[in-house]
């Protein structure tokens, strides 16, 4: 449709994409066989009978934790640098086909090092894919190192120090840090020290906040961890003062509509605060989160918002420009994107 083409042609940036969440059930089964990684026995969890039964299970997540159970099993098939490279290159290929020009992607090093895959193996594969995507499609990208909030602050710091000592924050290999996994019960302030070190070193900072957790997770991420971005942030609507502050400070909120529906944070896209954010001047971007698990890539998420809210082209341009402004690429690249 003409509208679909308009949304495709908008200069889009993706800011909330877990690269491990772009692993499709079919690739998951192929890599499990190739790398001899055992999957759960289908007699215990019938979802693991075939790629199709797994795909079906992904339509019935009941919560963030229910999803995370499958997400961590899924990524256990990723072993070599080549696995990470092909995963990321396939994602970039799809993002480019959707009309994305720039992508800032999360990765979860702790989920790999704790099963014997080194940080360097992961980053080498991802970096190789980034270079190929820029050369082949002109798609620019950044990596954001996420800490798993269900693990200790000490473990987060070990991984942070690894990246620091390899020079990855200063040579541009990794653009910043983030915080993901189970939210409720794992508030941002647990990680205050690693965030303070990152701030002192001039490293970019974001955190998932206000996805399943209440709006105090957002204010604590801002006040205690001094994040520059909020991932999800949909609970902002419950705190008018905080919402106005986020608008005033031009903090980018990275929304993930299809994710929020699949994880039952809302019952339908119409319930998301898209209209509210536009009216109040909250800067936000629209993203896919874990596209292989949540039923859509970036353009699917744009289309879902359009179907729910019927925005004008002017409003879409405002969203696209805000997303470019909130990106962590160089100023020169931002000018090219606008």
C-alpha 88/C-alpha 130 separation (Å) is 8
Question: Is there binding between residue 18 and ligand HPA (CB under 6 A)?
Answer: yes
Place of tokens 């289309």: 303
> Does 150 appear as a known binding residue?
no
Residue 91 CB, nearest approach to ligand HPA (Å):
14
Question: Is there binding between residue 289 and ligand HPA (CB under 6 A)?
Answer: yes
Please count the residues of this chain forming the interface with ligand HPA, following the rule CB under 6 A. Answer: 11
25 interface partner picked from Zn ion, ligand HPA, none, CB below 5 to 8 A per type? none
Contacts of 318 (CB under 8 A, 6+ apart): 278
325 counts as catalytic? no
298 touches 100 (CB < 8 A):
yes
Q: Toward ligand HPA, which CB reaches closer, 21 or 187?
A: 21
Helix (H) or strand (E) holding 121: helix 119-137
Residue 332 CB, nearest approach to ligand HPA (Å):
31
Distance, C-alpha 140 to centroid of its chain? 16
Phi, psi of 239 (to 5 degrees): -140, 95
Burial class (CB within 10 angstroms; exposed 0-12, middle 13-18, buried 19+) of 336: middle
- Which positions touch Zn ion (CB under 5 A)? 289
Apex CA 79: angle with CA 328 and CA 259, to 5°?
50
Binding mask 143-182 for ligand HPA (x = CB under 6 A): -------------------------------------xx-
List 20, 85, 211, 228, catalytic entry: 211
7, 22, 17: which is closest to 231 by C-alpha?
Answer: 17
Q: Toward Zn ion, which CB reaches closer, 179 or 282?
A: 179
Residues 237-266 that bind ligand HPA (CB under 6 A): 259
DSSP assignment letter at 326: T
Residue 18 CB, nearest approach to Zn ion (Å):
6
323 interface partner picked from Zn ion, ligand HPA, none, CB below 5 to 8 A per type? none
85 interface partner picked from ligand HPA, Zn ion, none, CB below 5 to 8 A per type? none
Q: Toward Zn ion, which CB reaches closer, 142 or 289?
A: 289
CB burial of 46-72 (b: ≥16 within 10 Å; e: otherwise) equals ebbeeeeebbebbeebeebeebbebbb
> Does 18 appear as a known binding residue?
yes
Binding mask 80-119 for ligand HPA (x = CB under 6 A): ----------------------------------------
The one among 39, 64, 207, 323 contacting ligand HPA by CB under 6 A: 64
C-alpha 175/C-alpha 45 separation (Å) is 38
Residue 2 CB, nearest approach to Zn ion (Å):
31
Length reported for the chain: 338
C-alpha 88/C-alpha 133 separation (Å) is 9
C-alpha 231/C-alpha 285 separation (Å) is 10
Cβ count near 109 (within 10 Å): 25
Give CA torsion, residues 199, 228, 129, 160, to 10 deg: 30
The residue of the chain with the least Cβ separation from ligand HPA equals: 180
Q: Toward ligand HPA, which CB reaches closer, 96 or 150?
A: 150
End-to-end CA distance of the chain: 24
Cβ count near 85 (within 10 Å): 19
Residue 106 CB, nearest approach to ligand HPA (Å):
7
The one among 208, 229, 262, 283 contacting ligand HPA by CB under 6 A: 208
Q: Toward ligand HPA, which CB reaches closer, 66 or 280?
A: 66
Catalytic residues: 211
Which residues does the annotation place in the binding site for substrate?
A: 290
Q: Which residues bind ligand HPA (CB under 6 A)?
A: 18, 21, 64, 71, 180-181, 208, 211, 259, 289-290
Which residues does the annotation place in the binding site for Zn(2+)?
A: 16, 18, 208, 289
């Amino acid at each position: 449709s003409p509208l679909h083409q308009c949304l495709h042609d908008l200069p889009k940036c993706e800011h909330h994409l877990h690269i491990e969440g772009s692993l499709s059930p079919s690739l998951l089964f192929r890599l499990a066989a190739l790398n001899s990684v055992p999957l759960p026995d289908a007699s215990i969890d019938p979802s693991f009978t075939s790629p199709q039964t797994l795909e079906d299970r992904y339509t019935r997540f009941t919560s963030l934790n229910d999803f995370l159970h499958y997400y961590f099993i899924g990524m256990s098939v990723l072993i070599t640098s080549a696995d990470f490279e092909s995963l990321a290159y396939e994602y970039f290929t799809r993002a480019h086909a959707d009309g994305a020009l720039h992508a800032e992607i999360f990765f979860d090093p702790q989920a790999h090092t704790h099963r014997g895959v080194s940080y360097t193996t992961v980053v080498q594969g991802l970096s190789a894919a980034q270079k190929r995507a820029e050369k082949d499609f002109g798609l620019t990208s950044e990596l954001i190192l996420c800490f798993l909030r269900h693990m200790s602050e000490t473990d987060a710091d070990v991984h942070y120090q690894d990246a620091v000592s390899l020079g990855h924050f200063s040579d541009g290999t990794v653009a910043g840090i983030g915080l993901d996994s189970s939210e409720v019960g794992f508030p941002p302030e647990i990680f205050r020290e690693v965030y303070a070190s990152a701030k002192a070193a001039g490293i970019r900072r974001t955190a998932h906040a206000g996805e399943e957790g209440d709006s105090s997770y957002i204010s604590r991420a801002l006040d205690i961890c001094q994040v520059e971005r909020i991932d999800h942030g949909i609970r902002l609507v419950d705190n008018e003062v905080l919402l106005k502050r986020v608008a005033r400070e031009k903090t980018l909120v990275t929304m993930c509509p299809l994710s929020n529906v699949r994880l039952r944070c809302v019952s339908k896209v119409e319930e998301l605060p898209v209209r509210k954010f536009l009216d109040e001047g909250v800067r936000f971007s629209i993203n896919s989160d874990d596209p292989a698990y949540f039923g859509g890539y970036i353009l699917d998420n744009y289309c879902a918002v359009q179907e729910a809210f019927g925005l004008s082209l002017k409003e879409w341009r405002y969203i696209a420009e805000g997303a470019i402004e909130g990106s962590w690429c160089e100023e020169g690249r931002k000018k090219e994107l606008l």
